[in-house]
Structure 1
């Protein structure tokens, strides 16, 4: 914005920029021009230092990629820092974007941030800490440490663009191809990155989220594995004494491991054979939180599981073992730091996973995740056979569509087998004379 005198017109001209375009207006006196200029420049209560751009700094440059030639632009801020973005398919597109970026900085629409991504990430997690669960914070921290900071940590926040995100995802895809990571894990890390860059957009450090047009890795739905009927007893016999009641509970209720570890004795009605599931064990705190979807459900259990839980209760009473209300406890080791623990606590998820893996190995069974016990329960109910609506209620799915998506093909095979068994039963129970009579 400036004021200059035009002798030929004997006027004072005010020039300013609005929405990227040069504007001007003339006045008869300098006082009028200065008054108008002041009206265009309201002073904020806490003015920020201006972020000017050195027009002569930087330019537009080509570079080669596996997909062909791409263009990047660079411009230099008045403090000496460089702003650069890549991935443009033509010189014209890069030049246009450079001009737009310069204007955004001049107008204050983008606040230049010189911090490296690692600094921004640490500050972001600290700011989010009071508003997210300990489990979510643990996920963010783990993905950041293992998958984001090694790649983006030393980059300036403003230097992270769509091309860099694509390059990172390509590197992650190679790790997936080597079976060192699953596509779902990489996609979860991408979600964390998108969250961080989305926050950078909200704070006006970036104009748009570079993750927006970078798709997730495709995830192939694997066939659900589960224990077959003949494998269940082998598995349970191989379970350690302290793990077997938990394993029977997972197979008998179809509960998630977090739900089982959050169970307390008041949640059981052993007389009616009902388990009420409304809480789950929280990661990192030792407490409980509402179940997935915050849905309460009652699960019907059979006499065998009821007898197992009664034995657990009787053993606790007989040995006067304190349990603080928890249904499942982690045994106290004889040595090590946990041997001095006095308060009874449930095992954490990692411990339960270890117990499960040991049982599979000792039973000579194939490897499968602990979550497969939930699938085992569902397939047993369908084989009985029970309808999908029963399985949905037992598992706590919000919609029967979810149940059908996971177990519909099991139900179809069991229904077909039931129809064949029904025909066989009719054939065995109908005398030949009656069959002839029906045919007549």
Structure 2
């Protein structure tokens, strides 16, 4: 529409609180932004955003800032950068408001939407963590006075993906079902707790047979375009570690080390090339599971969980388990495997029994033995 002074204005008619009303803008970008907010969030939020901004300007939105934030991140691989970009397009676009319109209520509504869509607690935590990092950057850059993610209450899921633990006897059955050529790899996975991406990236030079250790310094990662794999650093700083080898694993690795060049891959396929997980999974792992008839679901990653369960059953503390598995945080180890340490609960109950015996001396406590 034209104003009396000859300038062009852009008008939007909409209904708010049961009445038809309108808003006028000086440029089509601001009009388009208002229409998008109307469609996405309804008139109440759209009007609130309009009242708190300048209608003749197109304010910096969450996704615009998030893209700049990711572009400026250092210390991440291109595959991670691509994954963040997809997350921005797929998830943050649901709340693509001006930065100063991202409130704790908006973040809470977004989190609730993820939960209603069936996202797991871990997924929601990861996505919320990324959003919080973006908005923390906006605070540092002066776009926000405070991070609206700071006090979000995240939902908890009743259970994580179920972990499967093998007994030594069950692993013996599995190992017998695996072709002899691949038995060293499978035994190394359960005997060291290495991730399969770490184990298949091991080179001959990483194995120290004299000291009975293996050094984890690299892992396979998906290439940026998702069509292949490349070598990169392990998952985190603490994933770079030296793991002790059991006698059985060491003995299986001797023929794979002796006489070979330091830079050769320790485990290769029958053609002498690097092991590719998808091919190995279909050609080796799945047929072995069928032959083993274990009667329980078993992922390759469950060999890592089995390693942790055996270490804990043997009396090792969680700090040692954390180092062996390469977890970045002890909390991760405790959350994942703490339930495998019932003796802690028993020890706590024994200590409390002794303490309450002093408070209620008339009640003779049962004999309590506290493990040293």
TM-score by length of 1: 0.56
Structure 1, 81-90 or 357-366: larger mean CA deviation: 81-90
Instruction: Decide whether aligned partners of structure 1 residues 359 and 100 sit closer, same or farther in structure 2, where only a CA change above 3 A counts.
Output: same
Q: What is the SS of the residue equivalent to 1:329?
A: coil
SS at match of 1:101: coil
The question of whether the paired residues in 1 share the 8 Å contact of 2:243 and 2:324 is answered with yes
Distance 2:339 2:157 in 1: 20
CA 1:136/1:56 → structure 2, altered by over 3 Å: closer, same or farther?
closer
Pairwise CA RMSD of aligned residues? Answer: 5.1
Hey, what's the Cα distance between the residues in 2 that align with 1:75 and 1:121? 26
Instruction: Specify which of 26, 44, 66 is matched with residue 78 of structure 1.
Output: 26
Query: Cα distance 1:77–1:169, how it changes in 2: closer, same or farther (>3 A)?
Result: same
Q: Any idea what SS the aligned residue of 1:326 has? A: coil
**1:134 corresponds to which residue?**
78
The question of 1:297 aligning with 2:241 is answered yes
In structure 1, list runs of 5 or more residues that go unmatched.
1-51, 64-70, 333-342, 417-440
Partner SS, residue 191 of structure 2: helix
Contact 1:183 1:217 in 2 (8 A): yes
1:146-225 matched pairs, under 5 angstroms: 147-148=90-91, 152=94, 158=98, 169=111, 172-176=114-118, 182-191=120-129, 215-222=153-160, 224-225=163-164
Using the TM superposition, give the Cα deviation of residue 307 of structure 1 relative to its aligned residue in structure 2, in angstroms.
1.8
- Cα distance, 1:239–1:395 mapped onto 2, change above 3 Å: same
User: Residues 252 and 353 from structure 1, CA distance in 2 versus in 1: closer, same or farther, beyond 3 angstroms?
Assistant: same
Aligned residue among 368, 372, 378 for 2:298: 368
Going from structure 1 to structure 2, the CA distance change for 1:384 and 1:141 (only over 3 Å counts) comes to same
Query: Of the candidates 192, 208, 214, which is equivalent to residue 275 of structure 1?
Result: 214
Aligned to 1:61: 16
Confirm or deny: 8 A CA contact 2:200 2:274 kept in the other structure: no
Contact 1:54–1:75 at 8 Å: present in 2 too? no
In 2, Cα distance between the equivalents of 1:214 and 1:297? 35
- For the pair 1:345 / 2:345, whether they are aligned, the reply is no
The structure-2 alpha-carbon separation of the partners of 1:195 and 1:306, relative to structure 1 and needing over 3 Å to count, comes to same
Question: How many pairs were matched up?
Answer: 326
Q: Partner of 1:262 in structure 2?
A: 201
Determine the C-alpha separation between the residues in 2 that align with 1:74 and 1:194. Answer: 35
Matches of residues 1-40 of structure 1 in structure 2 within 5 Å?
none
CA distance in 2, matches of 1:132, 1:116: 21
Cα-to-partner distance string for 1:131-168 (whole Å, 9 max, x where unaligned): 631331343355457x438x74xx97559967887666
| Cα deviation digits, residues 112-131 of structure 1 (max 9, x gap) | 36x996xx599659945886
Residue aligning to 1:15: none
How far apart, in 2, do the equivalents of 1:122 and 1:403 lie? 31
Contact kept, 8 Å, 1:275 with 1:298, in 2: the verdict is: yes
Quote the Cα distance in structure 2 between the aligned partners of 1:234 and 1:368: 13
1:286 alignment partner, SS class: strand
For the 8 Å contact 1:323–1:345, the answer to whether it is kept is no
Shift of the alpha carbon at 1:187? 4.3
Q: In the TM superposition, what is the alpha-carbon distance from 1:78 to its structure 2 partner?
A: 0.6
Q: Which moved more, 1:270-279 or 1:399-408?
A: 399-408
Q: Which string of whole-angstrom CA distances, capped at 9 and with x for unpartnered residues, describes residues 219-266 of structure 1?
A: 345464311222101222233455432211111111122322331111
Equivalent residue, structure 1, for 2:59:
112
